[in-house]
Amino acid sequence: MEIIIAATKSCNHRPILEQELKDAGLEYKLMFYEEHPEIFEKFNLKTSPLLICDGELVSEGMPEHKKILDLCEKFKMK
Protein backbone atom coordinates (compact mmCIF):
# COMPACT_ATOMS: atom_id res chain seq x y z
CA MET A 1 0.00 0.00 0.00
CA GLU A 2 1.31 3.43 -0.91
CA ILE A 3 0.07 6.41 1.06
CA ILE A 4 0.83 9.92 -0.15
CA ILE A 5 0.23 13.21 1.58
CA ALA A 6 0.07 15.92 -1.09
CA ALA A 7 0.18 19.38 0.42
CA THR A 8 1.40 22.90 -0.02
CA LYS A 9 4.47 23.83 1.99
CA SER A 10 2.40 26.34 3.96
CA CYS A 11 -0.43 23.91 4.82
CA ASN A 12 -1.16 24.06 8.56
CA HIS A 13 -2.86 20.64 8.59
CA ARG A 14 0.03 18.72 6.99
CA PRO A 15 2.10 18.33 10.21
CA ILE A 16 -1.01 17.15 12.08
CA LEU A 17 -1.81 14.59 9.37
CA GLU A 18 1.82 13.41 9.31
CA GLN A 19 1.76 12.88 13.08
CA GLU A 20 -1.53 10.97 12.91
CA LEU A 21 -0.12 8.62 10.27
CA LYS A 22 3.08 8.14 12.29
CA ASP A 23 1.07 7.43 15.44
CA ALA A 24 -0.95 4.84 13.49
CA GLY A 25 2.28 3.22 12.30
CA LEU A 26 1.60 3.98 8.64
CA GLU A 27 4.43 4.84 6.26
CA TYR A 28 3.77 7.59 3.75
CA LYS A 29 5.37 9.78 1.11
CA LEU A 30 5.16 13.54 1.31
CA MET A 31 4.78 15.43 -1.95
CA PHE A 32 4.60 19.21 -2.02
CA TYR A 33 2.43 21.02 -4.56
CA GLU A 34 5.29 23.41 -5.28
CA GLU A 35 7.41 20.47 -6.48
CA HIS A 36 4.66 18.15 -7.84
CA PRO A 37 1.69 20.22 -9.13
CA GLU A 38 0.66 17.29 -11.33
CA ILE A 39 -0.80 15.51 -8.29
CA PHE A 40 -3.29 18.32 -7.67
CA GLU A 41 -3.97 18.64 -11.41
CA LYS A 42 -4.65 14.89 -11.70
CA PHE A 43 -7.45 15.14 -9.14
CA ASN A 44 -8.45 18.66 -10.30
CA LEU A 45 -8.27 19.95 -6.73
CA LYS A 46 -7.02 23.08 -5.03
CA THR A 47 -7.33 21.93 -1.40
CA SER A 48 -4.43 20.95 0.84
CA PRO A 49 -3.72 18.41 2.18
CA LEU A 50 -4.77 15.51 -0.01
CA LEU A 51 -4.53 11.96 1.27
CA ILE A 52 -3.98 9.47 -1.55
CA CYS A 53 -3.84 5.72 -1.11
CA ASP A 54 -2.76 3.44 -3.94
CA GLY A 55 -3.49 6.18 -6.49
CA GLU A 56 -6.99 6.84 -5.17
CA LEU A 57 -8.05 10.04 -3.43
CA VAL A 58 -9.05 9.12 0.13
CA SER A 59 -9.50 12.58 1.58
CA GLU A 60 -9.57 16.16 0.38
CA GLY A 61 -8.56 18.39 3.26
CA MET A 62 -7.83 17.10 6.75
CA PRO A 63 -9.33 13.58 7.06
CA GLU A 64 -11.37 12.48 10.02
CA HIS A 65 -9.56 10.23 12.47
CA LYS A 66 -11.79 7.32 11.40
CA LYS A 67 -10.37 7.46 7.84
CA ILE A 68 -6.88 7.05 9.25
CA LEU A 69 -8.02 4.11 11.37
CA ASP A 70 -9.62 2.57 8.27
CA LEU A 71 -6.32 2.94 6.42
CA CYS A 72 -4.57 1.26 9.30
CA GLU A 73 -6.94 -1.71 9.06
CA LYS A 74 -6.42 -1.99 5.29
CA PHE A 75 -2.66 -1.83 5.76
CA LYS A 76 -2.73 -4.65 8.30
CA MET A 77 -4.80 -6.81 5.94
CA LYS A 78 -2.20 -6.62 3.15
Name the CATH superfamily for 3-77.
Answer: Glutaredoxin (3.40.30.10)
* Domain residue limits, the chain: 3-77
Residues with Cβ < 8 Å from 36, sequence gap 6 or more? 6
Q: 3-class DSSP state for residue 62?
A: coil
Give per-residue burial for 28-53: e unless 16+ CB within 10 Å, then b. beebbbeeeeebbeeeeeebbbbbbb
pLDDT above 70: percentage of residues in the chain = 95
Q: What is the mean pLDDT of residues 9-13?
A: 93
Could you report the per-residue pLDDT of 13-41, keeping only the tens digit for each?
Answer: 999 999 999 988 889 999 998 998 888 78
CA dihedral angle for residue 19, residue 57, residue 48, residue 45, rounded to 10 degrees: 180
